[in-house]
Amino acid sequence: MVATHDAQPGPELGAGLPLTRMPAHWMLGRLGKKVMRPGGFAMSERMIANLAITASDDVVEMWPGLGRTAALALAYRPRSYIGIERGEAEAARARNQLDGTGHRCVVAPVHRSGLPDDSAGVVYGEALLTLEPASMKAAVLAEVARLLTPTGRYGIHELLLTPDNLTEAAKDDIQTVQTSVLRIGARPLTRPEWCTLLEGSGFTVHVEETSPLLLLDPRTVLADEGLGGTATILGRSLANPSVLPRLTRIWRTFHRYRDNLGAITLVAHRQD
């Protein structure tokens, strides 16, 4: 399904669900948060810079969300841009960043996009693979490899488990707690595991960068959202006091696992 940009508000994320029960990223979005990537906007900037987008590139973004990273990519004036989203509510938000010829957003499964083979010079996605089980991670990467030209680049920005030798028991504990608190099935990997995943799917990793988990770090929130945006988040939170215990629990969970959770961005090339 392909839709053109119309700059109209779309369906509300999580419509019909109470804030206390919807997935954490939907709740944060409803409260006004615009940057919801593991390493904050700075890591998104690093990923886009490392992808080295040029005017001859056709760019595909998987799950553009609110379109903040799309705006970064479009600043390089690629030949075309296509976002792939899960539904109309998500796509409507991304389309508000798309105001040029050759910019569009399709609604399709990211592992079966329907886009042509070898049609993208750059593909990237953020906080996507983390949410998928192993079989779907492999399916998404197979789709990326199909879309990319032989010299194409692929970028990811995902949740990271640390240290590299974290035990399986610790990984299971973190996943169980995150699923309960965030109401999403987060399945992050360690740095070697992320690299192995890409390499086993036909990619050569050329750039890797890591950072602490900064999603709810106060300084990062202020830097990413600005004073006005931060005030909006605080105001909406206070206007919906039922979310305060959940926000506290999420923050405490991130703090509890601060030595075991981080962010990673990788840039890889498709192997010929």
The pTM of this model reads 0.90
Rounded Cα–Cα distance for residues 49 and 53 (Å): 8
Higher pLDDT, 93 or 250: 250
Joined tokens for residue 218: 């106060």
**Cα-based distances in Å from 260 to 13, 191, 197, 201:** 30, 12, 20, 26
Element (H, E) at 268: strand 261-270
The CATH class for the domain spanning 19-270 reads alpha beta
Q: What is the pLDDT of residues 208-243, one digit of tens each?
A: 999 999 988 999 999 999 999 999 999 999 999 999
Predicted pLDDT at 6:
43
Rounded Cα–Cα distance for residues 124 and 214 (Å): 20
| Average model confidence (pLDDT) across the chain | 92
Q: Provide DSSP, 23-58.
A: -HHHHHHHTT-----TTHHHHHHHHHHHHT--TT-E
How large is the average pLDDT for residues 114-138?
Answer: 96
| Domain boundaries defined on the chain | 19-270
Predicted pLDDT at 96:
84
Rounded Cα–Cα distance for residues 58 and 259 (Å): 38
Which pLDDT band holds residue 13 (cuts at 50, 70, 90)? low
Predicted pLDDT at 80:
97
How large is the average pLDDT for residues 244-259?
Answer: 94
Rounded Cα–Cα distance for residues 225 and 215 (Å): 11
Neighbouring residues of 257: CB distance < 8 A, sequence distance ≥ 6: 174, 177
Which pLDDT band holds residue 12 (cuts at 50, 70, 90)? low
Checking if the pLDDT of 1 tops 50, the result is no
Rounded Cα–Cα distance for residues 163 and 165 (Å): 5
